[in-house]
Amino acid sequence: MNLVLIALLFQSSSLVLPPRSAIENPAVVSPVPENLLKDYGKLWSRFVAGTDDAKLAKDLDKFLRKQKAIVPGWIIEGYLALYKHDNARARAKFTDALMVSPKNRIATYYLAELAFAQGEYARSAALYDELLSMGATLPEIETKRQRAFLLATDSLLNAAARAERENRLPEAESYYRQALSIAPREPALHSRLADVLAKQNKLEEAAAERKAVEDLVPHLAAKPSAADAVRRDDLEDLGRWGGDIDLFHRIRDTEAITREQVALLVLRYFPQVTEFRQVPRIITDLQNAKAPSEVQMVVAVGLMDPFPNHAFEPASPVTRGDLAKTLAGLSRLIGLSGDQTSPVAPQDLGPSNALYPDIQLVLSSGLLTLGDAGSFDVSGSVSGGQAVGAVERLLHTFQQVQR
């Protein structure tokens, strides 16, 4: 896994707390009994004011001793611990809340954040998954899940590869099995585990893993080199897409990539996009979209535009001009401006064209190229493979600059 990408994803690993006035009142998620609302309301107001946390902690303790299983009270205690940077106590309080209220999204969210901050990436990814299953649809939750998933699998795969190189085969097997517990449908992991099992002469288990590869990638099953082909897959794709790896393969293999698929690519390769300034805009046709959050995010940061009628048309094919505009905008957003000293002049596009600066940038950066006749073909279609290749080249350039 690329160390620059890991460093980039790790930048947001510390727990950043909002002002108390902006933090969510836990009574919204777990209602407080009517007869306790007045007392609870006073405690909550004192927490928000933040004037005497020591006295508040004592009064909360008294309140909870009298009233059993008041989940919002435990969560306030967790909040107090977070603001005191006592992560162990915060974790204990949110865990208590979750034991009584297993679908409490506040407790789940902060337990996920704490797990990530403490390097427990597999647990963090699982908790973010739970949060998403509760209906949380904010793009940053999905981005955090992807980040945790990537770091969890990266850690396990590095450990497995190291153990395999040093001929500590039982350890390598254990690491690959742990990675498979995170991504059970990833053919590359089954293939690598099969190799390690075969080296230990566990031939039946190795055969079962190779059969799993064929079941997961049926179009390769008839080829003798099926396992080898899967083994060559770039495992960075696994970290980036996780359980959606099949979706990535469909995007990569499509003949004409759609606007929605481009939005997905942008956010999977550049999750830091969610941290830039956003200006929400009205989009009227995302009811049946498969990635509405990603579409809203790329529009909000200005990488793609809805049409004048406020429709995005998620399933519409992307043109080469569309892709150039998105890639150029993304380049500028992350601080890249291309090689302005070597302009490339398309035969079919003049400087007066509104897309000319964007196309100059992507051509000078090598993200897209001219056709054989020297034309850019603004209205031409873009295959999934071409779009993936362009985004990967931009990521590579960004990583080189970061070094």
What Å distances lie between residue 300 and 157, 276, 305, 310, CA to CA? 35, 9, 9, 13
Residue 137 lies in a domain: no
Domain count, the chain: 3
Average pLDDT over residues 130-143: 76
Q: Are 319 and 379 in contact (CB under 8 A)?
A: yes
CATH of the domain at 214: 1.25.40.10
CATH of the domain at 14: 1.25.40
What is the domain range of residue 187? Answer: 147-241
- End-to-end CA distance of the chain, in Å? 15
Sign, CA torsion 114/116/119/123 = positive
Give the pLDDT of residue 144. Answer: 77
- Among the ranges given (162-166, 225-229, 336-340), the one the predictor scored with the smallest mean pLDDT: 225-229
Give the pLDDT of residue 9. Answer: 42
For the cut 70, the answer to whether the pLDDT of residue 192 exceeds it is yes
Sign, CA torsion 95/100/103/107 = negative
Q: Domain boundary residue among 201, 217, 241?
A: 241
Q: Report pLDDT digits (tens) over 234-274.
A: 556 666 676 677 788 899 999 999 999 999 999 888 888 88
Rounded Cα–Cα distance for residues 164 and 197 (Å): 11
Residue 128 lies in a domain: no
Q: Of 372, 365, 373, 293, which Cα lies nearest the Cα of 323?
A: 365
Give the pLDDT of residue 403. Answer: 62
Give the pLDDT of residue 347. Answer: 83
Residue 211 lies in a domain: yes
Q: Are residues 225 and 101 in the same domain?
A: no
Give the pLDDT of residue 218. Answer: 60
For the cut 70, the answer to whether the pLDDT of residue 395 exceeds it is yes
Mean pLDDT of the chain: 84
Q: Are residues 28 and 106 in the same domain?
A: yes
- Prediction pTM value: 0.55
| Neighbouring residues of 228: CB distance < 8 A, sequence distance ≥ 6 | none
Q: Report pLDDT digits (tens) over 376-385.
A: 999 999 999 9
> Looking at residue 274, what DSSP letter applies?
G
Residue 140 lies in a domain: no
Give the pLDDT of residue 288. Answer: 85
Q: What is the pLDDT confidence band of residue 325, given thresholds at 50, 70 and 90?
A: very high
